[in-house]
């Protein structure tokens, strides 16, 4: 139902959000047309019939470790980088807003992931790289040929999101660094020309503060493979991006920036992908909505089109409201990141505010994508569960967004750290108060502001256990309240009361919630183990 449509021309809220934050409307109509036809076809084919395959050896018995991609997928990635310039904007005088709008329009998280890990690599090389390795940011950004693909390999099996548990070791040998270790979730395995990775310098400090950031090229100086791909993983979605296990054996590496600041560079680079996760989640929500709306306008049941039934209208209303909320939260976080992107460790308060809003946006958009795609799938009835129709895939793809780049629990814990240690909530409240006072409906915006203040005051009174117990829901409350204020500010700036109506619906039906008291360890354990009937 969304196939063959120009997804940028259709999406007035996206165009309005870009106008609000950029004070101009970028022309992304070409990408919108491409996303609605060619990308739809290729992503659908790759998901069902043409998944990446690991090629370990060539015909002569040489180890090659490449991931075979469908030729059309390779062409699509090249065109997105070069013709449509999705990764070029931040490096050629454009804006991060345009880049992330591109990720939104692409929608498919597998193809978007390839672009995201590539721009993450370009970002780190451009900002913190030096010497020979830095120049490749232009190839990764699509500004020069040959086009290159990047990757970010941080996760190890024993640690997951706990990067401090990394066991990969870096050792200085003469004028070179070499790495030895194993990365368990490595998106871009077999296609990356340059990858960022984390490692502990030998004899250095343990834990996260002891991590350094490195760049590794696919080939050594002598032309031999520089790292090895053990296998690719089978996944329920995001199959367009090959994800595998990568082994470093005396892998030649370039140190990025200062060794003792590696964890800061890594977390900063993760902001780039968390924002992409948010933009991608918005794209999934929008495409799921387009599919559902088109089907509901066509399908007849009980004597009329199902879009005429009040319950269906209610579902479509909820889907649209949540999608608009995700959109404005994403681009607010992008705006803050763009303003702070020149900061370096130990950073400024504006950077910590950007980081706080990124955690919030990542969670809100992911939860909304899962909900919107589920409602859309349900509107299709039984055929919505069939893989031959697109809506099944959009729901399946949505389910990765709360997990990628740190689960919702990780985002909530990082939010607490940003508030407790960096006081990141203070510039947020100042910003939201200023926006609320110039809002379309000041009463609604100021009511949402009071909700934010009450939530933060309640957090200040909580014990550490209570704070962690409620952290995810505190994050959601801050996000929903922020979105109300932002939508009211957008309505005032654009002179469009449409966004005021969206804000009111979020304020009245999404925002209200009471924190849950920690019931005590004994009660909690009894409940979650079904009174001891579940034993491991």
**Model pLDDT, residue 511:** 81
Task: Please indicate, yes or no, whether residues 131 and 158 belong to a single structural domain of this protein.
Answer: no
Compute φ and ψ for 233, nearest 5 degrees: -100, 145
| Residue 17 resides in a domain | yes
Q: What angle do CA 74, 79, 80 make, to 5 degrees?
A: 100
| Residue 328 resides in a domain | no
Name the domain count of the chain. Answer: 3
Task: Please indicate, yes or no, whether residues 188 and 227 belong to a single structural domain of this protein.
Answer: yes
Token look-up 């001891």 returns 532
Token look-up 């109506």 returns 501
| Residue 74 resides in a domain | yes
- Mark which of 260, 292, 307 sits at the end of a domain: 260
Q: 474: helix, coil or strand?
A: helix
Q: Which of 144, 115, 139, 145 is nearest to 125 (CA)?
A: 139
Task: Please indicate, yes or no, whether residues 18 and 135 belong to a single structural domain of this protein.
Answer: yes
**Model pLDDT, residue 514:** 63
In this structure, what CATH number is given to the domain that contains residue 102? 1.10.540
Task: Please indicate, yes or no, whether residues 433 and 507 belong to a single structural domain of this protein.
Answer: yes
Read off the pLDDT of residues 327-348 as tens digits, 9 standing for 90 and up.
999 999 999 999 999 999 999 9
Instruction: Print pLDDT tens along the chain (536 aa).
Output: 789 999 999 999 999 999 999 999 899 999 999 999 999 999 999 999 999 999 999 999 999 999 999 999 999 999 999 999 999 999 999 999 999 999 999 999 999 999 999 999 999 999 999 999 999 999 999 999 999 999 999 999 988 889 999 999 999 998 899 999 999 999 999 999 999 999 999 999 999 999 999 999 999 999 999 999 999 999 999 999 999 999 999 999 999 999 999 999 999 999 999 999 999 999 999 999 999 999 999 898 899 999 999 999 999 999 999 999 999 999 999 999 999 999 999 999 999 999 999 999 999 999 999 999 999 999 999 999 999 889 999 999 999 999 999 999 999 999 999 999 999 999 999 999 999 999 999 999 999 999 999 999 999 999 999 999 999 999 999 999 999 999 999 999 999 999 999 999 999 998 876 666 776 777 656 555 544 455 44
Task: Please indicate, yes or no, whether residues 240 and 123 belong to a single structural domain of this protein.
Answer: no
In this structure, what CATH number is given to the domain that contains residue 212? 2.40.110.20
**Model pLDDT, residue 522:** 75
Distance CA 187, CA 323 (A): 27
| Residue 5 resides in a domain | no
Q: Which of 470, 431, 449 is nearest to 333 (CA)?
A: 431
Read off the pLDDT of residues 90-148 as tens digits, 9 standing for 90 and up.
999 999 999 999 999 999 999 999 999 999 999 999 999 999 999 999 999 999 999 99
Q: Which pair of tokens denotes residue 71?
A: 């030729």
The strand ranges marked E within 154-305 are 169-173, 176-187, 194-201, 212-217, 228-232, 243-255, 300-301, 304-305
Task: Please indicate, yes or no, whether residues 157 and 126 belong to a single structural domain of this protein.
Answer: no
Residues facing residue 228 across a β-bridge: 247
Q: 493: helix, coil or strand?
A: helix
**Model pLDDT, residue 536:** 46
Distance CA 143, CA 82 (A): 7
Residue 131: which residues within 8 A CB-CB, separation 6 or more? Answer: 254
- Mark which of 109, 140, 171 sits at the end of a domain: 140
| Residue 105 resides in a domain | yes
| Residue 379 resides in a domain | no
| Residue 350 resides in a domain | no
Residue 121: which residues within 8 A CB-CB, separation 6 or more? Answer: 137, 140, 150, 151, 152, 194, 195, 196, 215
Compute φ and ψ for 68, nearest 5 degrees: -75, 130
**Model pLDDT, residue 524:** 55
Task: Please indicate, yes or no, whether residues 118 and 162 belong to a single structural domain of this protein.
Answer: no
Q: Which of 292, 269, 270, 289 is nearest to 281 (CA)?
A: 289
**Model pLDDT, residue 515:** 65
Task: Please indicate, yes or no, whether residues 109 and 179 belong to a single structural domain of this protein.
Answer: no
**Model pLDDT, residue 520:** 74
Task: Please indicate, yes or no, whether residues 130 and 162 belong to a single structural domain of this protein.
Answer: no
- Mark which of 200, 232, 260 sits at the end of a domain: 260
Token look-up 């009361």 returns 497
User: Is beta strand 169-173 parallel, antiparallel or unpaired with respect to 194-201?
Assistant: parallel
| Residue 318 resides in a domain | no
Domain coverage including residue 479: 424-524
Q: How many CB atoms lie within 10 A of CB 172?
A: 13
Task: Please indicate, yes or no, whether residues 74 and 135 belong to a single structural domain of this protein.
Answer: yes
Task: Please indicate, yes or no, whether residues 185 and 211 belong to a single structural domain of this protein.
Answer: yes
Task: Please indicate, yes or no, whether residues 156 and 99 belong to a single structural domain of this protein.
Answer: no
Distance CA 254, CA 156 (A): 20
Q: Mind giving me the DSSP string for 371-413?
A: HHHHHHHHHTGGGGG-TTSHHHHHHHHHTTTTTTTS-HHHHHH
């Amino acid at each position: 139902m969304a196939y063959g449509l120009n997804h940028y021309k259709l999406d007035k809220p996206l165009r309005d959000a870009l106008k609000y934050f950029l004070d101009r409307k970028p022309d992304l109509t070409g990408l919108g047309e491409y996303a609605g036809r060619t990308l739809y076809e290729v992503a659908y084919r790759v998901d069902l019939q043409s998944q990446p395959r690991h090629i370990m050896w060539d015909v002569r018995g040489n180890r090659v470790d490449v991931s075979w991609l469908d030729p059309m997928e390779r062409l699509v990635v090249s065109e997105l980088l070069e013709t449509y310039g999705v990764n070029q904007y931040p490096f050629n005088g454009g804006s991060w807003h345009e880049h992330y709008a591109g990720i939104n329009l692409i929608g498919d998280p597998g193809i978007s992931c390839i672009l995201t890990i590539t721009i993450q690599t370009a970002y780190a090389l451009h900002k913190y790289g030096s010497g020979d390795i830095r120049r490749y940011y232009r190839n990764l950004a699509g500004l020069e040929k040959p086009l290159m693909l990047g990757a970010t390999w941080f996760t190890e099996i024993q640690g997951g999101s706990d990067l401090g548990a990394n066991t990969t070791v870096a050792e200085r040998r003469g004028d070179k660094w070499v790495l030895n270790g194993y990365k368990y979730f490595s998106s871009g395995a077999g296609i990356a020309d340059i990858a960022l990775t984390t490692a502990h310098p030998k004899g250095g400090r343990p834990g996260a503060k002891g991590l350094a950031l490195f760049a590794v090229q696919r080939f050594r100086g002598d032309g031999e493979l520089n790292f090895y791909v053990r296998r690719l993983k089978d996944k329920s979605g995001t199959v367009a991006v090959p994800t595998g296990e990568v082994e470093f054996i005396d892998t030649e590496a370039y140190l990025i920036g200062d060794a003792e600041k590696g964890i800061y560079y890594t977390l900063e680079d993760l902001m780039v992908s968390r924002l992409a996760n948010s933009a991608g989640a918005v794209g999934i929500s929008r495409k799921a909505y387009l599919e559902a709306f088109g089907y509901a306008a066509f399908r007849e049941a009980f004597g009329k089109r199902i879009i005429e039934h009040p319950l269906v209208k209610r579902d479509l209303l909820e889907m649209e409201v949540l999608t608009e909320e995700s959109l404005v939260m994403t681009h607010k976080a992008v705006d803050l990141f763009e303003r702070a992107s020149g900061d370096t460790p130990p950073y400024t308060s504006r950077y910590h505010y950007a980081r706080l809003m990124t955690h919030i946006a990542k969670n809100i958009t992911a939860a909304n994508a899962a909900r919107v795609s589920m409602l859309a799938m349900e509107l299709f009835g039984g055929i919505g569960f069939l893989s031959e129709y697109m809506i099944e895939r959009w729901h399946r793809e949505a389910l990765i967004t709360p997990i990628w780049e740190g689960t919702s629990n990780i985002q909530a814990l990082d939010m607490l750290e940003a508030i407790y240690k960096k006081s990141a909530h203070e510039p947020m409240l100042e910003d939201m108060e200023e926006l609320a006072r110039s809002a379309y409906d000041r009463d609604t915006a100021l009511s949402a502001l009071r909700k934010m203040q009450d939530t933060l005051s309640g957090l200040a009174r909580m014990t550490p256990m209570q704070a962690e117990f409620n952290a995810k829901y505190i994050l959601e409350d801050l996000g929903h309240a922020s979105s109300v204020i932002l939508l009211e500010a957008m309505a005032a700036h654009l002179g469009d009361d449409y966004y005021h109506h969206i804000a009111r619906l979020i304020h009245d039906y999404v925002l209200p919630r009471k924190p849950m008291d920690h019931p005590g360890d004994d009660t909690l354990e009894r409940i979650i183990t079904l009174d001891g009937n579940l034993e491991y």
